[in-house]
């Protein structure tokens, strides 16, 4: 059985999600020790553990997941229970497909989540914690996301957190081309932010990297890198500071005070854009980090406004219902197909065993016919046709029962009638397939 324990922006407070985002990558390893496999998806707005468990062990598995997360994050288990939702069986599939497609994001249709889902599976592979069913689940999730992106307007209607943050900043930025922007961070989110800033016309952009990667990022993207010694002054003089790094506490009130100096007042920059001082909210700080990059105390400084992920989430626009409905339909249909294929696979070993039994009998009868003088092959042709006719109904019936969740009845019937156990999985994968079994 597939199991998902999720805490997200709909069920958990922001500070708890922030703490969960720091969960070590090797968490999946401790979860997979007592299951067939585990994949952990941790983003700025959600934490999800996908576990492949025995059907009769789901309740114990939920307790193990919560206990392991509590041990790694330091969050008490009762707090996790109150902020989490548990999905089991078929519901897990539709949930992940919706998550990967951006339907469960803060901003419906945002594109970053698709890459995060792929990276979660890649991480699980590196740590050896996947299972065949989890592999199939996450691969189909990515396929569904691509279909939603290609077949609906959701990707155009929904916007990324970066784009939404800058749209919220529009009312406070009179002229993006005159704004002095400081970008803190050099990861993939920083690259997206830089591209979005340029789309809006920003030209004066510099970058600072707490990890020391600023020079390489700046050279690649054609902007100025700031050495650590210039960071405080640049942060204090920037019209807009955007942080999107995995480092914590990269900006606080003390840094800005240091950069301002003792006598900095509100002045006009050479480009006509005001710099921070007293008496006006001249500086905007946008914190896109998770964990939080900026200390809340910066908002207490005169002349500074702080826009963080929690505020951005509260301003997320209403979904475009038509695009969302179309995407939901694709997700539901993909989930139904996933279950149907899984059900077919559940009876395939028994179908293969029955076919092998029948064709073994067929080969014996054909050999007997040849020894009796069937040189023109007419008897062989008739016997093969008869075998195909006889197998068609039980094969179709097997797939129908599987679709109804009754595949075990077919397996039991084959055992009762012929004394046949399901075929070895290696033989099923190499010699047969569900499609071949219906021939």
Cα(67)–Cα(72) distance, integer angstroms: 9
Long-range contacts: 299-307, Cβ < 8 Å, 24+?
Answer: 300/253, 301/253, 301/256, 301/257, 301/276, 302/277, 302/278, 303/266, 303/276, 303/277, 303/278, 303/279, 304/256, 304/276, 305/172, 305/281, 307/165, 307/168, 307/169
Any alpha helices (H) in 200-249, and if so which ranges? 214-221, 228-237
**Triad 426, 408, 419: Cα angle to 5°:** 70
Ramachandran region of residue 102, left (φ > 0), alpha (ψ -120 to 50) or beta? left
Alpha-helix runs per DSSP H in 171-213: 188-199
Query: In angstroms, what CA-CA distances link 3 with 127, 180, 427, 430?
Result: 19, 48, 29, 29
Q: What are phi and psi of 47, to 5 degrees?
A: -130, 125
Please state the length of the chain. 439
- Just list the catalytic residues: 44
Tokens coding 342: 């899984």
Q: Which residue has the tokens 């979005």?
A: 196
293 in Cβ contact with 314 (< 8 Å) = no
* Alpha carbons 71 and 333: distance in angstroms, whole number: 38
Tokens linked to 158: 């929904």
In which residue are the tokens 């569900």 written?
A: 434
Beta bridge partners of 304: 283
């Amino acid at each position: 059985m597939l199991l998902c324990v999720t805490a997200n922006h709909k069920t958990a407070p922001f500070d708890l999600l922030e703490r969960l985002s720091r969960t070590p990558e090797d968490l999946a390893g401790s979860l997979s020790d007592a299951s067939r496999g585990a994949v952990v998806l941790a983003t700025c707005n959600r934490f999800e553990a996908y576990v492949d468990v025995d059907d009769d062990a789901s309740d114990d598995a939920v307790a193990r997941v919560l206990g392991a997360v509590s041990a790694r994050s330091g969050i008490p288990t009762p707090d996790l229970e109150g902020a989490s939702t548990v999905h089991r069986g078929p519901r897990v599939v539709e949930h992940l497909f919706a998550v990967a497609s951006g339907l469960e994001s803060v901003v419906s249709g945002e594109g970053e989540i698709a890459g995060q889902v792929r990276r979660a599976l890649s991480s699980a592979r590196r740590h050896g914690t996947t299972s065949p069913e989890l592999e199939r689940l996450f691969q189909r999730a990515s396929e569904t996301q691509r279909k939603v992106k290609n077949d609906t307007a959701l990707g155009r209607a929904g916007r990324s957190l970066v784009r939404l943050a800058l749209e919220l900043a529009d009312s406070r930025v009179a002229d993006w081309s005159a704004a002095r922007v400081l970008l803190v961070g050099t990861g993939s989110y920083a690259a997206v932010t830089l591209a979005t800033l340029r789309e809006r016309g920003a030209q004066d952009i510099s970058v600072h990297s707490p990890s020391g990667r600023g020079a390489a990022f700046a050279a690649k993207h054609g902007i100025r890198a700031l050495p650590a010694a210039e960071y405080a002054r640049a942060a204090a003089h920037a019209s807009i500071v955007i942080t999107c790094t995995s480092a914590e506490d990269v900006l606080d009130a003390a840094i800005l005070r240091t950069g301002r100096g003792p006598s900095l007042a509100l002045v006009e920059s050479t480009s006509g854009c005001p710099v921070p001082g007293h008496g006006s909210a001249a500086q905007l700080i946008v914190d896109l980090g998770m964990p939080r990059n900026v200390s809340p105390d910066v908002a207490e400084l005169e002349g500074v406004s702080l826009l963080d992920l929690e505020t951005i989430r509260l301003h997320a626009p209403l979904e475009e219902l038509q695009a969302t409905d179309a995407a939901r339909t694709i997700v539901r249909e993909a989930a139904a197909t996933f279950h149907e294929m899984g059900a077919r696979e559940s009876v395939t070993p028994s179908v293969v065993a029955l076919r092998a039994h029948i064709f073994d009998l067929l080969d014996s009868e054909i050999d007997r016919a040849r020894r009796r003088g069937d040189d023109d092959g007419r008897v062989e042709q008739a016997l093969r046709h008869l075998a195909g006719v006889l197998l068609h109904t039980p094969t179709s019936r097997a797939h129908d029962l599987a679709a109804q969740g009754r595949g075990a009845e077919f397996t039991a019937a084959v055992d009762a009638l012929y004394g046949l156990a399901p075929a070895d999985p290696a033989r099923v994968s190499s010699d047969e397939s569900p499609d071949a079994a219906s021939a």
